[in-house]
Amino acid sequence: MMITGVKITLVLLVTTTISSLLLGNVIAIMRVSRTRFLRVLGNLYVEIFRNIPGLFWVLFFYFVFPELLPSGLSEKLNSYLYYPVIAGILGLTVDNASYVSDILRSGRLAIPHGQREVAISTGLNRVQQWIYVLLPQIYRVTLPPLGTRMVHNFKNTSLCMAITAPELTWATQQIESLTFRGIEATTIATLFYICLAAIMVSIIILLEKYLKIDISSITHSRA
Amino acid sequence: MGLLEQFSHWNFYLLGTYPKGEIGGLALNIILAALALSLSFIFGVMLGYSRLSCRMYIKYPCVAYIEIIRATPLILLIFWFYFFLPYLVGGNISIFWSAVISLCVYAAAYQAEIVRAGILAIPRGQLEAALSTGMSRLQAMKSVILPQAFKIMIPSFMSFFVSLFKDTSVTYIIGVIELTQTGIIISQRQPDKMLSAYLSMAIGYFVICYTLSHVARRLEKKIGIYDLESYRPDACRDEYMLLPTHKTGDEEEHPSRICSPKPEFRKDL
């Protein structure tokens, strides 16, 4: 039971990290775009999802979301064995993406205009500007807060126990109610969370060292 | 409309069964967050200050406490206190107090980080000046450093309060009848009005968090942290940069935190 729990937790961690990065990216680009409509839409998304707890979104996608779909589809979803996991992924992703987009947006604002002007003058189009010039710098600059956010997201995967997704915290509670060995199970789960968080932090620190560039050379460049 | 009908339950969402029974709903969320923040404040300050101590036997236990609590999910902390506090106390303890205690333990670690960041943000010269006037370290901390540091910390505390407020929703897992639990109970009694029950829940959280985070942002501008940051010595800045951040309501803070001097844009281009 614990092993499945660990597996599901890891699945949740990896999928939500990737999907919230992607979604956060899209929203961040929307929020700095020239079109007013996209900006307003992006800001609205962030305000809504950041001011309502993640637990709410997880519950929302599990209980309410299938109701909104046509009835045939919702029955199929409700009978699907792994729907709790999917609902958890959806809920955590939309919650985390708002924070990620905030971090990325502030990273974009920290990069001077000169960079974009250079990119334009070398003949890159708008998509290429983002991919080759802006995004790599944004990720370098925002790596520390982004990493903290991902560790936070990892801890939030434990919220999925509220919707009976069979992840680690849920497994400990099952063990507690079946065998009354709650202390052992909870200790192991806590140790697991601490160890994995430590591993994530050290990976981020390594990445930071690996990707380190002299930021002042960007900010003071005479572009 | 279902949502309008839900408003007839507004007293459950806001106050629970308060006049007749126990207080619950949104009021309980606010009470939980405020109690946890204020009860753990003194521990947070002590932990944050001791983490900066030069004595290893004071520093490392604090580092261990802060890092362990920060790496553990809040749900697990709540379970720990829910199941094992009765063993420790040797009697029954109400779920409300076990929720408050676990939130306190959680909040103390985060507040310690805020306090540490605030103390490090004060230029070292201040401490040196205070020491050279003949103050002891404790006096210098009490009457020179901390008053300045608290001023800087106010916005961080505000945004931490917002995130703590959101985190109180997790206590529903041990059966505290707060807003999330209320919404779930009502939606289970009327399964056909599930959407409107969840919407009213969301509105409750949104109104409080939105107002508080805007107040935090306003305060941040008013206090003007950024002027202070510009003359912080680099030694402190390096340590400050490595701080894991736990911020919610302050998006403007990141760029200035990451780049060393404020980015200068050439206006003549």
Q: Is the pLDDT of residue B255 over 50?
A: no
- From the centroid of its chain, how far is CA B48? 14
Closest-CA distance of chain A to residue B92, Å: 18
Amino acid identity at A33: S
The predicted-structure confidence for A154-202, as pLDDT tens digits, reads as follows: 999 999 988 888 888 888 888 888 888 778 888 889 999 999 999 999 9
Structure tokens of B156?
Answer: 């961080």
CB contacts, 8 Å: A142 with chain B? 254, 258
Inspect the interface and report whether the beta carbons of B244 and A144 lie closer than 8 Å: yes
Q: What is the pLDDT of residue A39?
A: 93
Amino acid identity at A151: V
Q: Is the pLDDT of residue B250 over 50?
A: no
Is A63 near chain B, with CB under 8 Å?
yes
Q: What is the pLDDT of residue A155?
A: 92
Contacts 24+ apart (CB under 8 A), A81-86: A84/A160, A84/A163, A84/A164, A84/A165, A84/A166, A85/A8, A85/A11, A85/A12, A85/A160, A85/A165, A85/A166, A85/A167
Using 50, 70 and 90 to split pLDDT, how confident is the model at B244?
Answer: very low
Mean of the pLDDT values across residues A37-65? 92
Asked whether the beta carbons of A12 and A85 are under 8 A apart, the reply is yes
Alpha-carbon torsion (B228, B154, B247, B140), positive or negative: positive
**Residue-averaged pLDDT of chain A:** 87
Structure tokens of A172?
Answer: 């400990």
Residue A222 φ/ψ, nearest 5 degrees: -90, 75
CB contacts, 8 Å: B76 with chain A? 158, 169, 172, 186, 189-190, 193
Give the Cα separation of A43 and A30 in Å (integer): 9
Amino acid identity at B236: C
Q: What is the pLDDT of residue A90?
A: 93
3-state helix, strand, coil in chain A (%, to 5): 85, 0, 15
CB contacts, 8 Å: A50 with chain B? 209, 213, 248
CB contacts, 8 Å: B242 with chain A? 144
Of residues B30 and A76, the one with the higher pLDDT is B30
Share of chain B above pLDDT 90, in %: 30
Is A181 near chain B, with CB under 8 Å?
no
Q: Is the pLDDT of residue B129 over 70?
A: yes
Q: Is the pLDDT of residue B135 over 70?
A: yes
Picking from A103, A169, A216, the nearest residue to B73 by CB comes out as A169
- From the centroid of its chain, how far is CA B164? 5
Give the Cα separation of B64 and B109 in Å (integer): 10
Inspect the interface and report whether the beta carbons of B205 and A48 lie closer than 8 Å: no
Q: What is the pLDDT of residue B90?
A: 78
**Residue-averaged pLDDT of chain B:** 79
Asked whether the beta carbons of B105 and A187 are under 8 A apart, the reply is no
Provide the 10 A C-beta neighbour count for residue B175.
12
Of how many residues is chain B composed?
A: 269
The predicted-structure confidence for B72-117, as pLDDT tens digits, reads as follows: 999 999 988 888 888 888 778 888 899 999 999 999 999 999 999 9
Q: Which residues are within 8 A (CB) of B140 and not within 5 positions of it... i.e. 6 or more apart? A: B127, B130, B131
Inspect the interface and report whether the beta carbons of B265 and A176 lie closer than 8 Å: no
Interface predicted TM-score (ipTM): 0.84
Scanning every residue of chain A, which has its alpha carbon at the shortest distance from the alpha carbon of B250?
A102
Inspect the interface and report whether the beta carbons of A64 and B195 lie closer than 8 Å: yes
Q: Encode burial over A183-214: b for 16+ CB neighbours within 10 A, e otherwise.
A: eebbebbbebbbebbeebbeebeeeeeeeeee
Give the Cα separation of A96 and A88 in Å (integer): 12
**Superfamily of B2-258 according to CATH:** MetI-like (1.10.3720.10)
Mean of the pLDDT values across residues B121-149? 88
* Mutation for testing the B interface, residue in A16, A46, A50, A179 having most B CBs under 10 Å: A50
Structure tokens of B232?
Answer: 């912080």
- Helices (H), ranges, chain B: 2-6, 10-15, 25-51, 56-71, 74-89, 95-121, 124-132, 137-140, 146-167, 179-189, 194-223, 225-230, 234-241, 253-258
Closest-CA distance of chain A to residue B144, Å: 30
Of how many residues is chain A composed?
A: 223
Q: Is the pLDDT of residue A14 over 90?
A: yes
Q: What is the pLDDT of residue A216?
A: 57
Integer distance in angstroms from the first to the last C-alpha of chain B? 57
Of residues B171 and A71, the one with the higher pLDDT is B171
Share of chain B above pLDDT 70, in %: 78
Size of interface A-B (CB pairs under 8 A): 156
Inspect the interface and report whether the beta carbons of A148 and B245 lie closer than 8 Å: yes
Largest CA distance in chain A: 68
The predicted-structure confidence for A103-133, as pLDDT tens digits, reads as follows: 999 888 888 888 888 888 888 888 888 888 8
Give the Cα separation of A197 and B166 in Å (integer): 22
Q: What is the pLDDT of residue B242?
A: 40
Amino acid identity at A165: A
Q: Is the pLDDT of residue A87 over 80?
A: yes
Give the Cα separation of A138 and A28 in Å (integer): 11
Asked whether the beta carbons of A204 and A143 are under 8 A apart, the reply is yes
Task: Enumerate the domain spans of chain B.
Answer: 2-258
Using 50, 70 and 90 to split pLDDT, how confident is the model at A215?
Answer: low
> DSSP for A14-83?
HHHHHHHHHHHHHHHHHHTSS-HHHHHHHHHHHHHHHSS-HHHHHHIIIIIHHHHS-HHHHHHHHH-TTH
Q: What is the pLDDT of residue B262?
A: 44
Picking from B72, B169, B194, the nearest residue to A190 by CB comes out as B72
CB contacts, 8 Å: A172 with chain B? 76, 79
Q: What is the pLDDT of residue B33?
A: 93
Inspect the interface and report whether the beta carbons of B254 and A142 lie closer than 8 Å: yes
Inspect the interface and report whether the beta carbons of A55 and B246 lie closer than 8 Å: no
Share of chain A above pLDDT 90, in %: 43
**Superfamily of A11-165 according to CATH:** MetI-like (1.10.3720.10)
Q: Is the pLDDT of residue B198 over 70?
A: yes
Structure tokens of B83?
Answer: 């199941």
Using 50, 70 and 90 to split pLDDT, how confident is the model at B263?
Answer: very low
CB contacts, 8 Å: B192 with chain A? none
